[in-house]
Amino acid sequence: MQEFLQLVVSGISTGAIFASLALALVLIYNAMGLVNFAQGEMAMFATFIAYTLVNAGMSFWIAFPVTMVLAFGGGILIQRVVIRPVERAPVLTLVIITLGLATLVNGVAGFLWGYVPRSFASPFSPDSVDLGGVFVSYRDLGVIAVSGLVLLAIYLLLQHTTVGLTLRAAAHHPEASRLLGVHVSWMLALGWGLASAVGAVSGMMVAPILLLEPNMMQTIIIYAFAAAVLGGIESPLGAVVGGLLVGVTVNLAGAYIPNAGDLQLAFGLGIIILVLILKPNGLFGRAATRRV
Amino acid sequence: MQRIRTAPPRYWLVLLVVIFFLGFPTVISSFLASEWAQALILAIAIMGLNILVGYSGQLSLGHGAFMAMGAYISAILAHRYKMDYLATVPIAAVVTGVVGFLFGIPSLRLSPLYLALATFALAVVTPSLIKRPADLTGGVQGILIVQPDPPQLASDVFGAVTGTAMTSDQWIYYITLACALILFWLAWNLARRRPGRAMRAIRDGEVAAAASGVNVAGFKTLAFGISAFYAGTAGSLFALSTGFISADTFPVSLSIQLLVGAVVGGLASIPGPLLGAIFAYFLPIGSNQWVPSQTWLPDQITSTVKNAGPAVSYGVILILIMMFAPNGMVGLIRSGYATLDRRLRGAPDPKTGQMPPDPQTV
């Protein structure tokens, strides 16, 4: 039982990482009905920036917000340069473009920092704390706390500020918002910036656990897809719940199914396929209705 | 001029291409022939992807997984059950095709976006799925494949033309060429007849297609099956041509390479996959040979460019083609030809109605 609880807590910690990336996916999906295949690579790139800043002598807790701001700017830049010219193109075109973006960002990171894995020092102490018989590492708690704060901040921004309101309005009813004087195009860019910044958090949280290299996020993005699909791809709350569920499931499966090792990733694929077949709208998604 | 212009699908061009590919190995080295064989294999797989994405409008980012399946079916049959390798190619193709058809059934319910997502996940997971049944697939150690010797007749004919005996690489090239010719011919027939028309109708408007009596579900799964059939053939030939397969032979980047080839060549066209395959196959090889040969570049840059070059150029090309030339190379050639043709005839521009300059000056 104690082992089970420990596994659940560390599952929540990895789940929080998946949740951040899944939320980034949901933000862009809501803005323009598109799954951003480059989200993971953008987060990886941001993590490399954080790594460079820390190596230049900056403290992690200063590098963290600085990286988020840079990632925000980078997201807006990408939206303006690459996505905006094809905003109205068919889904097929957009997906191929984000995939091209993923390949490009991956290559540029490989070009700048090389493919040798680097260790990224964790900002949290490696000790554990005893919570009623369950030993929880400060690292897990730290990841949960940081991700939780960021997710809370995004929630407050979206639901309780004017910017959040216009952002949601521009995503759901672009025409009506335009008539009311909202700069819809810039709101979409803002969505990309926010997604990029939230994604960067997941990169910076996962880098100390994995090693930092250009392909680091390739597995994480699959779990994030699973989380977003499980929660319902248009629901921010669903992304968070989905992320936590996927994290705990994968962690438990990895521990209790013998020799799971390599197959953990296949659980991600399994979740995606099961949800899409059994409940395509996810846990929190609304049933899609279409006028023909 | 008049006769060439009104000629139906340019048979003379097709004939020229076939003669070129038939004669090519007699003038290049055996090693280059094996590289071209792999480019042709890629062309077969890309044609499969083209039928799915270009004609039926369903996006698969996981065609590398179908290639892996074809490759492993052939390799296991040949390695464990001592079958003749060439006899395993059609088996691998058919089995992969059936699996693709079955895969197409749940895909019917998915929106294009979800389908892309699920197939992408499949592509990422493929290597670890292969590693798992290690005693069947050889896991990370992989499977070695014995390359067949050319039969006496082929060797004699080849020897009579070039003066040297045929190597097994050259034999594999001709096997691949034969498969590619048959499969491209089939695809051409498919595209211009009823199934092709039905698929395009579905791609352009599912509801309208259904209202016109097209069996939407049937043709969508059929497209998946045919597409997987092509990928399975390509995978099986790929294993034969490399002589060795392991879990890491089929990374995500293979699926991306296929997509790049399909997009660059031109979706929904028959010559597109061939052009795209040659491009996608030789771009990384070419840059890997060109960059290290530049002595003025420092060593460190050379080695990074070697690793990162293909990814960067693939990414940039995917984005630029999708933005500025969504019909790929074939589209560019066609529109260029149409402009040239119009100028030669002295016809006005169809959009603006502007007359071209004096034909004599062109």
Which residues on chain B are in Cβ contact (under 8 Å) with A91? Answer: 59, 112-113
Nearest by CB: B118 against A97, A107, A272: A272
Mean pLDDT computed over A44-60: 90
CB contact under 8 A, A99 and B259: yes
Q: Least CA distance to B117: which residue of chain A?
A: A225
CB contact under 8 A, A269 and B121: yes
| pLDDT class of B234 with cuts at 50, 70, 90 | very high
**Average pLDDT over chain B, rounded to an integer:** 83
Q: Least CA distance to B308: which residue of chain A?
A: A107
Give residue B304's pLDDT: 65
CB contact under 8 A, A277 and B109: yes
**Average pLDDT over chain A, rounded to an integer:** 86
What does the DSSP assignment read for A69-131? HHHHHHHHHHIIIIIGGGTTS-HHHHHHHHHHHHHHHHHHHHHHH-SS-B----SS-S-EEEE
Q: Is residue B3 over pLDDT 70?
A: no
Q: Decide which of B354 and A204 is more confident.
A: A204
Is residue A174 within 8 A of residue A30, CB to CB? The reply is no
| pLDDT class of B4 with cuts at 50, 70, 90 | very low
| pLDDT class of B47 with cuts at 50, 70, 90 | very high
Is residue A206 within 8 A of residue A17, CB to CB? The reply is yes
Which residues on chain B are in Cβ contact (under 8 Å) with A85? Answer: 323
Question: What domains does chain A contain, in order, with CATH numbers?
Answer: 2-278 (1.10.3470)
Q: Is residue B9 over pLDDT 90?
A: no
Which residues on chain A are in Cβ contact (under 8 Å) with B326? Answer: 93
CB contact under 8 A, A272 and B61: no
Give residue B341's pLDDT: 79
* d(CA B228, nearest CA chain A) in Å: 19
Q: Decide which of A2 and B69 is more confident.
A: B69
Give the tens place of pLDDT for each residue, A147-159.
889 889 988 988 8
* d(CA A233, nearest CA chain B) in Å: 10
Which residues on chain A are in Cβ contact (under 8 Å) with B137? Answer: none
Mean pLDDT computed over B87-91: 89
Helices B85-107, B63-80: inter-axial angle, 10-degree rounding = 140
Beta strands in chain A (DSSP E): 128-131, 134-137
Global confidence as pTM: 0.85
Q: Least CA distance to A103: which residue of chain B?
A: B315
Give residue B1's pLDDT: 44
Nearest by CB: B319 against A101, A269, A276: A101
Nearest by CB: A225 against B117, B304, B312: B117
Q: Which of A20-24, B320-324, B350-354 has the lowest mean pLDDT?
A: B350-354
Question: Which residue, B104, B32, B110, is CA-closest to B66?
Answer: B104
Nearest by CB: A266 against B129, B316, B317: B129
Give residue B2's pLDDT: 47
Give the tens place of pLDDT for each residue, B118-163.
888 888 888 888 887 777 777 778 888 888 888 888 778 888 888 7
Length of chain B: 362
Which residues on chain B are in Cβ contact (under 8 Å) with A34? Answer: 113
Task: Give the span between the Cα atoms of B185 and B51, in whole angstroms.
Answer: 13
CB contact under 8 A, A106 and B109: no
* d(CA A223, nearest CA chain B) in Å: 9
Instruction: Give, for B2, the enclosing helix (H) or strand (E).
Output: helix B2-6
Is residue B172 within 8 A of residue B37, CB to CB? The reply is yes
Q: How far is CA B252 from CA A103, A131, A253, in A?
A: 11, 42, 24
Mean pLDDT computed over A233-262: 83
| pLDDT class of A126 with cuts at 50, 70, 90 | confident
* d(CA A260, nearest CA chain B) in Å: 9
What does the DSSP assignment read for B196-265? HHHHHHHHH-HHHHHHTT--HHHHHHHHHHHHHHHHHHHHHHHHHHHSEE-GGGS-HHHHHHHHHHHHHH
Give the highest mean pLDDT range of A41-50, A91-100, B347-356. A41-50
Give the tens place of pLDDT for each residue, B156-202.
888 888 877 788 888 889 999 999 999 999 998 888 888 888 988 88
| pLDDT class of B115 with cuts at 50, 70, 90 | confident
Give residue A244's pLDDT: 92
Q: Which of A39-48, A190-199, B27-36 has the lowest mean pLDDT?
A: B27-36
* d(CA A29, nearest CA chain B) in Å: 10
Q: Is residue B51 over pLDDT 50?
A: yes
Give residue B362's pLDDT: 41
Question: Which residue, A229, A189, A233, is CA-closest to A29?
Answer: A233
Q: Which of A65-69, B249-253, B337-341 has the lowest mean pLDDT?
A: B337-341
CB contact under 8 A, B308 and A102: no
At B138, phi and psi to the nearest 5?
A: 80, 0
Nearest by CB: A272 against B59, B117, B304: B117
Q: Decide which of B21 and A127 is more confident.
A: B21
| pLDDT class of B7 with cuts at 50, 70, 90 | very low
Give residue A72's pLDDT: 94
Mutation choice for B interface testing from A103, A257, A263, A292 by most B CBs within 10 A: A103
Which residues on chain B are in Cβ contact (under 8 Å) with A263? Answer: 128, 132
CB contact under 8 A, B113 and A100: no
